[in-house]
Amino acid sequence: MSYPGSNELVTTAEVKALSNITVATYDTYIGSVIPSVCRAVETYCGRKFLLNTWIQWVSKDREIFLDNWPINNVLLIGVPYACFTITDTSNKYNFVIQQPTSNNPNTVARFVATNTETLAVTEYLFSVSTTVGALKTAVEAGLVGVTFTYETAPSTITFANLSTSSLRMTSGKTVYIGVNYFDQTSGTSIGDIYRISDNSDRLILNPNYADVSYFLTSNYPYTMDAGYILDYYRESDTLVIYNSGYATADVPADLKMAVSLIISDLMAYYDIQGGGGWKGIYKSETLGDYSYTIGDGSFIWQLVHKYHDILDHYKIKII
């Protein structure tokens, strides 16, 4: 599966050019392995490279590391706030909010109601119900006995008009939302509370952000019992919706080269070009102090590690 959309880090034409292949004989094979190699490279680096919009809940701090970069622009910075409670007079539904994450990018953003008696599942896609108000209308029209009741909103915020993309992943009958409170109170741009630099993997927040967001989330509950926090989410969390990654034309040349070399090695391993058997150099090789042997079940990962000198530069930072 290509990701995101139909784009990849390299095209078949680029792999052929970098591997000096001038015939169309191997186009089908090259095209079929590009997604697998790209996913292996992304897994090794712990990030997604291509241009996409991400929804991420992070711990509140002056400096926030995001899962994917380079960060191009930030669409929303929001603090968690109780949005609505669900009443189910039939007492037969379970409710879940689902959102895509970096670990599960192909998850469809949606509100899911499961009938515990019949096990029938009803889904309301956020791509259709783009605001909380539209979601409320759709759910109440489709599920008999199910209603949404808005909680008290911060000053100047109207829950009904907020995007459903800012709803928090959760299950249960109390639903939280990342309220983009800052730019709506003063009319200033969201740029007034954060800054990013070129090719950045982090946000630097205004010193006042922590104090203001803590005050706003005073209604965001958590439960303490014998020292354990029973609610998984903390009031210190922050929603960031941001755009990051490389456009296909801007993928770094060395990253394209690494993917192309891995594919070239795979072609040699399988003798795709009909040379009479795989080349021994691709079965076992020593590069300085690094040695590898390709096993039949793990050769893609061995090849990814072979090019670690290129790929380590792009690894996600863990601190």
Residue ranges per structural domain of the chain: 12-49+248-314, 52-244
Predicted TM-score (pTM) of the model is 0.75
> pLDDT value at position 213?
59
Rounded to whole angstroms, the Cα distance separating 200 from 66 reads: 9
> pLDDT value at position 135?
98
222-264 pLDDT, tens digit each: 433 333 333 334 445 788 888 899 988 899 999 999 999 999 9
Q: Per-residue pLDDT for 29 more than 60?
A: yes
298-313 pLDDT, tens digit each: 578 888 999 999 999 9
**Lookup result for tokens 């009904």:** 160
**Cα angle, residue 181 at apex, residues 176 and 184 outer, rounded to 5°:** 135
pLDDT band, residue 221 (cuts 50/70/90): very low
261-270 pLDDT, tens digit each: 999 988 887 7
